[in-house]
């Protein structure tokens, strides 16, 4: 049999978790034709032979949690993802997906997104099927397994009001969700710390989750609180999965803020008790003790409900500002400023006002002579509420405990970014460029938190199994030829929080459907990725 590519003599980590071995991998017609011991394949005159002695050969990585879809039209090459070895992205998460999007409230939907690329491609109304077909015609570098955001459904069904959906509105949301599942969506996602996702009740989310259950869909939740009320938030996810009959998944599980460090044991106990009782629950983490989101998330929910976050004059009204100040001292909501401290929250992107970038809320307030509340509304006002933050609030001990758990997969929470241009502007979280290189170097090779084989499984076959991504995640005959080759001596993250947009070292080759997207450490623009269909759709 003739092969297109023959990878010879590498250390094969096949994604299954089984012990690594030295062997060969052959690719043909976009599929893996052979993966096994060396010496089984005769000379191949027509094959492209890649010597892999001293290198690790593994499946292309599956990012269990990211937002590649949000910038896919503006950065279809997604160099920052490919150069980490990622070939498939699980996205449409945190309640926000590229489809379905209706005409209702479209202008407000665009305005109130957490962070928007300056001069981004326009957002147009489309169904899930229309988005899938359009992306598959235009091409994307990584594959995408897409969820439907409950914010999208709420915008079309209810708008931005903080109230329960009427029976008619709920029926409309159910219909949109059912249509999307029939078109290949993997499930429903929530971002319950963001507007308008946060306005959905447990009852509403359970009703929607009953729609996805017959499709094998997953309720994938960015929970209501990842700090003081993390217990209650996990219990809500478990209850929704149990009562709807669908599978559940917790996005970027964490116990944020110094007062909550050490709660990982409690979190895992809740999850495993539910699993023992028959509820299908899994979770993911990213390999950092810092997270990132939009600056507007620092405001209390009732201010976000009013939609004032880009109106500095309105927010500095003594009555409104006094209300914000008072609420920033209270603990009955997911209050990031109170939980993390203003010195640990850094502005990472500030549209047209780069002077704020790299400075903490405390530093900005001190430079302006104002308190934390006024510093936040000043930056929001100066950027049209288009600003991002990085917050340092997690605990290494908790992170390691989560990573080692058998239910845990690894994600980046990253966007599709390049190394230059608008998607690289500011100081975005370095996970956008080096998350998986960090995971492999720091936690697998240096600290040996897990055996290499077990760690690679958490980034390949385990997310494929959790989410139902067929034909990917293993080096196995007949599987898609998504392959990563890295140098275990050299692989490392090189970006920092100050200078994030830097290519990691040690990623030597990446193949997507048999075509090299990284060749000898150099990015090659290929568009072999597509929007994947869920198991039911296929």
Predicted confidence at residue 118, as pLDDT, reads: 65
Distances (CA, A) of 81 to 157, 191, 196, 219, 533: 34, 23, 29, 25, 21
Q: What is the pLDDT of residues 136-191, one digit of tens each?
A: 998 888 999 999 999 999 999 999 999 999 999 999 999 999 999 999 999 999 99
Q: What is the pLDDT of residue 43?
A: 67
> What tens digit of pLDDT does each residue of 23-33 get?
999 999 999 99
Could you give the 3-state DSSP secondary structure of residue 359? coil
Residues 192, 169: Cα–Cα separation, whole Å:
19
Phi, then psi, of 224 in degrees rounded to 5:
-65, -30
| 3-class DSSP state of 465 | helix
Q: Is 282 helix (H, G, I), strand (E, B) or coil?
A: strand
pTM over 0.85: yes
Find the farthest-apart pair of alpha carbons in the chain and give their distance in angstroms, rounded. Answer: 80
Domains and CATH numbers, the chain: 3-58+500-525 (2.30.40.10), 59-288+393-469 (3.20.20.140), 294-388 (no CATH)
Helix, coil or strand: residue 121 = coil
- Euclidean distance between CA atoms 434 and 47, whole angstroms: 32
What is the DSSP-derived secondary structure letter of residue 62?
E
Q: Say whether 12 sits in a helix, a strand or coil.
A: strand
389 to each of 104, 291, 392, 423, 426, how far by Cα in Å? 29, 8, 10, 15, 10
329: tokens are 């001292």
Residue ranges for the chain with pLDDT beneath 50? none
Q: Which residue has the tokens 């990585």?
A: 61
Q: How many CB atoms lie within 10 A of CB 447?
A: 10
Predicted confidence (pLDDT) per residue in 177-229, tens digit:
999 999 999 999 999 999 999 999 999 999 999 999 999 999 999 999 999 99
The token pair at 36 is 């096994």
| Chain centre distance of CA 361 | 25
């Amino acid at each position: 049999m003739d092969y297109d590519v023959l990878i010879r003599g590498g250390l094969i980590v096949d994604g299954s978790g089984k012990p690594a071995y030295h062997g060969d991998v052959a690719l043909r017609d976009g599929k893996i034709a052979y993966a096994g011991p060396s010496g089984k394949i005769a000379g191949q005159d027509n094959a492209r032979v890649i010597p892999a002695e001293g290198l690790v050969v593994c499946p292309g990585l599956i990012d269990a949690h990211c937002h590649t879809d949000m910038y896919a039209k503006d950065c279809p090459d997604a160099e920052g993802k490919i150069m980490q070895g990622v070939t498939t992205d699980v996205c449409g998460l945190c309640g926000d997906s590229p489809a379905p999007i209706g005409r209702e409230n479209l202008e407000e939907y665009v305005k109130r997104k957490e962070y928007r690329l300056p001069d981004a491609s326009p957002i147009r109304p489309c169904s899930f099927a229309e988005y899938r077909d359009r992306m598959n015609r235009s091409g994307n570098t990584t594959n995408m397994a897409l969820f439907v955001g409950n914010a999208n459904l709420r915008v079309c069904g209810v708008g931005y009001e903080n109230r329960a959906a009427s029976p008619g509105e709920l029926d409309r949301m159910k219909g949109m969700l059912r249509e999307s599942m029939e078109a290949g969506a993997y499930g429903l996602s929530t971002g319950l710390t963001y507007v308008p996702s946060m306005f959905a009740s447990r009852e509403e989310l359970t009703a929607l989750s009953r729609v996805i259950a017959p499709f094998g869909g997953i309720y994938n939740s960015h929970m209501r609180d990842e700090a003081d009320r993390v217990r209650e938030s996990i219990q809500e996810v478990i209850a929704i999965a149990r009562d709807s009959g669908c599978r559940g998944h917790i996005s970027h599980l964490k116990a944020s803020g110094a007062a909550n460090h050490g709660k990982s044991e409690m979190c895992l106990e809740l999850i495993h008790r539910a699993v023992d009782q028959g509820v299908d629950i899994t979770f993911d983490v990213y390999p950092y003790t810092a997270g990132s989101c939009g600056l507007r998330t620092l405001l209390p929910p009732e201010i976000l409900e009013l939609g004032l976050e880009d109106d500095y004059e309105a927010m500095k009204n003594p009555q409104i500002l006094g209300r914000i100040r008072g609420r920033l001292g209270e603990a009955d909501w997911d209050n990031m400023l109170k939980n993390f401290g203003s010195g640990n929250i850094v502005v990472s992107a500030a549209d047209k006002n780069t002077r704020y970038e790299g400075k903490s809320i405390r530093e900005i307030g001190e430079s302006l002579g104002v308190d934390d509340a006024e510093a936040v509304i000043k930056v929001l006002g100066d950027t049209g509420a288009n600003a991002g933050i990085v917050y340092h609030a997690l605990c290494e001990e908790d992170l390691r405990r989560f990573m080692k758990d058998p239910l845990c997969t690894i994600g980046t929470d990253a966007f599709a970014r390049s190394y230059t241009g608008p998607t690289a502007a500011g100081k975005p979280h370095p996970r956008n460029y080096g998350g998986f290189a960090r995971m492999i170097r720091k936690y697998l090779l240096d600290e040996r938190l897990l055996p290499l084989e077990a760690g690679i499984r958490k980034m390949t076959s385990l997310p494929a199994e959790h989410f139902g991504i067929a034909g990917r995640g293993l080096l196995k005959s007949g599987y898609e030829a998504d392959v990563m080759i890295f140098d275990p001596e050299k692989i490392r993250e090189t970006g920092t929080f100050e200078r994030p947009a830097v290519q990691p070292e040690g990623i030597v080759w990446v193949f997507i459907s048999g075509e090299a997207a990284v060749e000898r450490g150099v990015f090659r623009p290929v568009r072999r990725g597509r929007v994947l269909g869920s198991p039911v759709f296929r």
